[in-house]
Structure 1
Amino acid sequence: MIYRGLTWDHPRGYNALAAAGGALIAWDKHPLEGFESHPIADLCATYDLVVLDHPHVGEAVAADCLVPLEDLFDPAEIAALGRAAIGPSLASYRYAGKHWALPLDAATQVMACRRDVTETPETWDALIALAERMPVALSLAGPHAALSFQSVCGALGAPRAGERFVDRAVGREAYAILVRLIGETTRACAAMNPITMLEAMAAGDGPALCPLIYGYVTYSAAGTIRYADAPHGPAGIGSTLGGTGIAVSRRAEVTDDLRDHLRWLMADATQRGFIPQHDGQPALRSAWTDPAVDAAAGGFYSATRATLEAALLRPRHDRAIAFQTEASLLIRDGLLNENPADAVLDAVEASYTRHHAPGAET
């Protein structure tokens, strides 16, 4: 039997899976944005294995298109993986009392700098001051305006929870911080997704620094980008979890060979060896703390580990992707058009209310 798998079109998302799949799994790939535009149920109707990120979990549960890990592995295995995974990597896939994906890849928003930038601002106040002396850009394209906003709110002390998306006073303060960084550099980069912005920075054509952007180890390993922890606020580091998990669809005929392969992908030796050796970004803490893995990655893991350990989760309820898309558009347009904070926050809260059923998990 050959299983069909779908992952995202980047060396970090594809190379290790393709190299490991052998005669068991044939991996296809499509753009990262493709996961936002295709319902997860449609992908699961075609593929046995789907690499996804945690905001898709509620939609998948509503569509009943994934097999929970509890049906595949013993509770002790899942608990051990939760302890071994860095930050909330496994916890992000827990929804409605079960886990729906293995944390294959760990990432969060961190600070990225060109290699010629020697200053590393640790706080938002220091970052704003630095932006007066060098080109600093926010990552605002696609869902990233909403994700950056959520991260600043977390640094200020109000992670998202309950029936509201954000506390209004904290939301105003976070919006004001982002407004201070809407200069020529951010406007020039407003349509760049993280990969495009990092490519521009690596080539010397982009901003000197981006305070919140999803970290890609490949640029650090190549020596073109230097990473650091995301800026602190009064509540500590604010960052919103990314990364991907590998999920099993209902169409898959699960065999012991498949279970063993999934176990191998998450094994300590694989995560510290095979995954980083094939352009992957591992999800186990043991890999992130391995000196050899860190050295080969240009210090990426030690420079950003604290941010990942403290990362916030995104909304995961059914229709969370629709909310994320709409909220990001509202925040991005509000910032670029200099709209007042309350008008933008009113619209974001209205969108959250439309897309999040009362009493549903967040």
Structure 2
Amino acid sequence: MTGYRGLTWDHPRGRHALEAAAAATADAAGRPLIEWGVHSLEGFESAPIGELAERYDVIVLDHPHLGDALAAGVLRPIDELFPAELVDRLRRDTVGPSAASYTVDGALWALPLDAATQVSVRLPEVLDAAPATWREVAALAEGGDVPVALSLAGPHALLSLLSVCAAFGAEPATTPGHGLVDARNGAAALELLADLARRAPAGSARLNPIDLLERMRRVRDIAFVPLVYGYVNYASGPGALVFGDAPAQVAGGRPGSTIGGTGIAITVRSTPDRALLDHLARLFDPAVQAGFIPEHDGQPSLRSAWTNDVVNAASGDFYRGTLTTIEHASVRPRVPGYTAFQSAASAMLRDAMLADRTSLTRRAALEVVDAVNTRFDALASLSLTERSHA
């Protein structure tokens, strides 16, 4: 049996199921088929994929990394490694745009293992139900009695803006050339988020999603977050939080959200044998998705697991409560340079939201959105340059 090096992210949701599955493959010498290493959530979100692919055979990644990965030619297409029946089933049966997010030019470049998107989360002892619209969210925060926070750290200021834009009826672009978001729509979304940010509990804007949810569960000084990536691990046990759909513009409208989750990619440095391919394929067996994965702190990707009664009973209905949101989630661009752009644009937006404790003017919001759009459109020339050297 060949030993492979894998990389995932350092959270129970990201590592426990993969490590347990690998342990079950150990040979007579006790060596697992895949030796999983980990890096932080921040590393998962922004580490250069080309550098990681030089050191690992199997990488758990997020779909925006595909732009840089494909430009560098460091991944093997899933379609050429696995049976067509499995690929077709993943395209058909994974929840929301999970498989679509890892599909570029008709090819699947990662196995969509973990499905997640931005959803709302609340303290059940403070809020009986989550606000259904952004107007209701704003009113809740303005009332002052219920602490409302936003997820703004790292790339999440930009991701929150993209999701509000989608809820407001303007789908963000996936290719550069005509801006990332509609200027007026983006400015309105930025004004709304800036108003919420200035009312949020101190220090909350600098917390990544894991730390934000940990603070909610343990300190309980944040009662509601309208958009944060859902983690089933915080939906049960002591201090359980309640997750629900993201807000819409109007009641019954589309809940704006930007899909995340993870996919398992195989790098070109690896020569995968049948043992590895069969091992990875087993992770997508419906029984494994509804049993082994959630039993080991994972978040499945198959719709059948998201609608499973046992899986939902064990998770406070986390999956059914957020199903509508993930089914309508947006996919981010998969172009070279996007992950670096995402970090830089998020910093620009976060600075604008947190610059002072007064309202952001429409003119100032338009200027920031224009700067983000200009920076995004600059990726068009990078894409052309990368392709010419591919």
**2:369 maps to amino acid:** L
Q: Distance in 2 between matches of 1:212 and 1:31?
A: 21
1:28-43 equivalences in 2 (<5 Å): 28-43=37-52
Please name the residue that 1:147 is paired with. Answer: 159
Establish whether residue 354 from structure 1 lines up as the match of residue 349 from structure 2. no
Q: Distance in 2 between matches of 1:90 and 1:214?
A: 18
Establish whether residue 9 from structure 1 lines up as the match of residue 10 from structure 2. yes
Report the 3-state secondary structure (helix = DSSP H, G, I; strand = E; otherwise coil) of the residue aligned with 1:301.
Answer: helix
1:245-264 equivalences in 2 (<5 Å): 245-264=263-282
How far residue 204 of structure 1 moved from its aligned partner, in angstroms, is 3.0
Q: Distance in 2 between matches of 1:342 and 1:171?
A: 8
How far residue 114 of structure 1 moved from its aligned partner, in angstroms, is 1.5
Establish whether residue 269 from structure 1 lines up as the match of residue 291 from structure 2. no
Are the equivalent residues in 2 in contact too, given 1:153–1:171 (CA < 8 A)? yes
* Count of aligned positions: 361
Report the 3-state secondary structure (helix = DSSP H, G, I; strand = E; otherwise coil) of the residue aligned with 1:66.
Answer: coil
Establish whether residue 156 from structure 1 lines up as the match of residue 179 from structure 2. no
Report the 3-state secondary structure (helix = DSSP H, G, I; strand = E; otherwise coil) of the residue aligned with 2:53.
Answer: helix
1:225-236 equivalences in 2 (<5 Å): 225-234=241-250, 236=254
2:337 to 319, 328, 346: 319
**1:5 maps to amino acid:** G
| CA shift in 2, pair 1:36/1:227, >3 Å | closer
Are the equivalent residues in 1 in contact too, given 2:94–2:302 (CA < 8 A)? yes
What are the Cα deviations for residues 70-128 of structure 1, in whole angstroms up to 9, with x where unaligned? Answer: 11123332111111100000110011331110011000000011131213110001111
1:103-182 equivalences in 2 (<5 Å): 103-116=112-125, 117-131=127-141, 132=143, 133-161=145-173, 162=175, 163=177, 164-182=179-197
Q: Distance in 2 between matches of 1:205 and 1:356?
A: 44
Q: Distance in 1 between matches of 2:382 and 2:215?
A: 42
**Any unmatched runs of 5+ in structure 1?**
none
Q: Distance in 1 between matches of 2:134 and 2:272?
A: 48
Report the 3-state secondary structure (helix = DSSP H, G, I; strand = E; otherwise coil) of the residue aligned with 2:291.
Answer: helix
Q: Distance in 1 between matches of 2:201 and 2:372?
A: 22
1:331-342 equivalences in 2 (<5 Å): 331-337=349-355, 338=360, 340-342=364-366
Are the equivalent residues in 1 in contact too, given 2:45–2:62 (CA < 8 A)? no
Bigger Rg, structure 1 or 2 = 2
**2:137 maps to amino acid:** L
What are the Cα deviations for residues 111-159 of structure 1, in whole angstroms up to 9, with x where unaligned? Answer: 0111312131100011111112311011111100000000000001111
Please name the residue that 2:72 is paired with. Answer: 63
Q: TM-score scaled by structure 2?
A: 0.89
Establish whether residue 343 from structure 1 lines up as the match of residue 364 from structure 2. no
Establish whether residue 196 from structure 1 lines up as the match of residue 211 from structure 2. yes
Q: Distance in 1 between matches of 2:116 and 2:45?
A: 18
Q: Distance in 1 between matches of 2:75 and 2:211?
A: 32
How far residue 346 of structure 1 moved from its aligned partner, in angstroms, is 1.6
| CA shift in 2, pair 1:135/1:245, >3 Å | same
* Aligned residues: CA RMSD: 1.7
| CA shift in 2, pair 1:6/1:68, >3 Å | same
What are the Cα deviations for residues 232-291 of structure 1, in whole angstroms up to 9, with x where unaligned? Answer: 115511001010000001111111111111110111111011000000000000000001
Q: Distance in 1 between matches of 2:182 and 2:94?
A: 30
Are the equivalent residues in 2 in contact too, given 1:319–1:356 (CA < 8 A)? no
| CA shift in 2, pair 1:149/1:186, >3 Å | farther
Report the 3-state secondary structure (helix = DSSP H, G, I; strand = E; otherwise coil) of the residue aligned with 1:280.
Answer: coil
